[in-house]
Chains A and B, each alone.
Chain A
C-alpha cells in the first residue's frame, strides 16, 4: 500500500520556522482535508507532500522513501497537484491543457500515444468537460476551470491527488460539485488530500481531518474527534454551535467569541 508521510518535517523561511516539526501519515484510498486558519501551514504541508518544497529538517516520505530521492518525473506520475490559482492568461485550449498532464509520461520527442489519448479522453469524460475540449481556458468560468485542472491531474493517472483550496473561488453550487468530484475520485481508488479553510463545506465529503495551527498538528481523525466546539474556539478564535442536519452531518454556526 502506498503512503505519504511527514516525519518531524519543518520548513524555515528567513531563519524562522514557519512550519512544523510535524509528523503525519496519509494512507492509500483516504480522502483527507487539511484544515486550519490562514497561515496555519495547510498549503505548506500540501507542497511538502507534493515534493514541491523540501523540508529544512525532518523527512517527507513516499512509501517510506524520501520524496526527493525519487526521480522528478516518477514523482509527478504518482502525485498530482492542483493549484489554488486557476487563472490562466494564455489562450491554451482545454485539450492542450489536458495534454500537458502527460508531460512525465512522454519522451521529449514522442508523439501522443494511444495511452496518452485515452487518459485525456477518460479524464475529460470523468470530470464532465468533454464539451469544453476546444474552448480556450481563459474563456471558461471559475467552476469550469477548476474541473479542467482536476481533469488535468487525472490525466496524470496518479495515486495521490492534492488540491489546494479547490473551492475558494467558487460559488456554493460549483464548490459542492468539485467536492463531490473529489469524493468520487477517492471511491475510484485515488488518495485525495484537500487543503481548505472552509471545514463546514468539506466535512461531509472527507473521511479524515487534519487540523493545523501555526504549522503544528493540533488534532487528526474523523470529524467528531477533531472539530469539537472547544478545539474550534482555541484554533479559530470563534464560538461554534453544532446544528444537526438531515444528512447526518452537523453544520457549524459561528459566533464572535465572547469570553465567559
Chain B
C-alpha cells in the first residue's frame, strides 16, 4: 500500500473520532446545562425561570448593577441557599465518582471496579465515621473530607497489600480483597456507630450521613467537595497515557517505560481523593462510578484522554438528574438517591452490555 494511502487512512480515523467527539459534546453540554437549570427550577415549591435569573443576577453581578432587582426573601433563600448548593454538590459528587470509576477500572483492568467495589467507598465512610465520633468534624469542617480521603486511601492500600504478590496483582484476588476489605471496614464503622449510640445526637448525625443523599446540602458542602474533585480530575488528566498502558497490563506498561509502581500510587491517591470528596458530602452512592464510565466508554471508546473528562461531565449531569427524580417523583417524600441511581443505572447498564456483546458477536 502506498504511503499516501496510509496517511490518508490514519487521517480519516482521527477525523472520524474527532467528529464523534464533537457530536458527543454537542449533546452532552446542553444536557449538563439543562440538568443544572432544571435542578434549580424544579422542586416542591414552584420557582419561575425569571426568578432564578434574577437571583443569579443578584448574586453574581456587582452590587451597583443589581440595585433595581427585586425578589422575595423566600425565593432568594430557596434558590440560593437550598437548590443551588444542592445541585452543585450533586454535580461534583457525580463527576468525582465517575472519574474515580474511570481510574479504578483502568488500574484494575476490570470494568466492574468502582469506588464501592474495591474498598474505597467503605474506607471513606469509616474515615467519616471516625471524624464524627472523635468530634473532629465539630472542630473543623475540613476533617470530614480529609478523613474520608485518608480512609479511602488506607482501604485501597490494604486491598493492594492483600492482593499483590511479587509485583503482580491478579484481578480476581484484588476484587475479592476489595469485597472482604469493604465488609471489614463497614463492620468497623457499624461497631463505632453502635458504641456511640449512647450519644444520640452523634449517632443520628452519622446515620443520616451514612445513608447517603443530598438533602440539606449547603454552600459549606460545595466548598468541602468541589475543590477536591477539581484537583482530583486535574491530577487524573495528566495521567491518562499511563492509564491507557496500565489498562493493557502492568508488564506491558513497564516495557513501554511507565514507572508502574509510582503510577499506581499516584492513581490510587487520586482515586482516594475523588472518592473521599464525594463520600464526605453525600455518603456512599453506588452505581455512578460503575455505570457512567462504562456507558461513555461504549460511545467514545476506552482511550482515557477522552473518557475521563467526558465521564466526569456525564457523571455530574447524571447525578443532578437522579437527585431531581429522587425529590420530585413522589412528593413530598424524597426517595433515597442510591435507589434512583440503581434504578436508572441498572437497566441502562444491562442494555448497553447486551448491545456490546451482540456487537462483538456480529463483528
Contacts and interface: CB of A to CB of B under 8 A. Distances in A.
Interface of A: 13, 47, 50, 52, 72-73, 75-77, 80-81, 83, 85, 88-93, 95-97, 100-101, 103-104, 106, 108-109, 117, 120-121, 124-125, 130-131, 133-134, 136, 138-139, 156
B43 interface: no
Prevailing SS type, chain B contact patch: helix
Given A92-B302, A120-B10, A77 B257 contact: yes
Contacts of B259: 72
A81 B256 CA distance: 8
A165 to B, nearest CB: 14
Contact of A52 (B16, B111, B255): B255
A93 B256 contact: no
Interface string B236-251: 0010010011011101
B251 A83 contact: yes
Interface string B1-41: 10101110110111011000000000000000000000000
Contacts of B251: 47, 52, 81, 83
B303 interface: yes
Contacts of B360: 138-139
B192 interface: no
A81 B255 contact: yes
A50 B255 contact: yes
A235 to B, nearest CB: 27
24 contacts: A50-B255, A52-B254, A73-B257, A76-B255, A83-B249, A89-B109, A89-B111, A90-B248, A92-B303, A100-B241, A100-B256, A101-B256, A104-B257, A108-B241, A121-B6, A124-B6, A125-B1, A130-B5, A133-B9, A133-B13, A136-B301, A138-B360, A139-B360, A156-B256
Contact of B244 (A13, A96, A106, A138): A96
Contacts, number: 96
B357 to A, nearest CB: 12
Given A52-B254, A108-B241, 18 more contacts: A76-B255, A88-B248, A89-B109, A91-B302, A95-B14, A96-B244, A100-B245, A100-B248, A101-B256, A103-B256, A103-B257, A106-B241, A109-B238, A121-B6, A130-B6, A130-B9, A134-B9, A134-B12
Interface string B316-330: 000000000000000
A136 B13 CA distance: 12
B12 A75 contact: no
A124 B5 CA distance: 12
B295 to A, nearest CB: 13
A124 B166 CA distance: 35
Nearest to B245: A100
A60 B101 CA distance: 39
B323 to A, nearest CB: 31
B199 interface: no
A81 B244 CA distance: 17
B363 interface: yes
Interface in B202-257: 238, 241, 244-245, 247-249, 251-252, 254-257
A57 B185 CA distance: 41
Contact of A80 (B17, B111, B255, B302): B255
B258 interface: yes
A104 B256 CA distance: 6
B243 to A, nearest CB: 11
Closest 9 pairs between A and B when the two form their complex, measured CB to CB? A76-B257, A104-B257, A81-B255, A73-B257, A90-B302, A134-B13, A103-B256, A139-B363, A121-B6
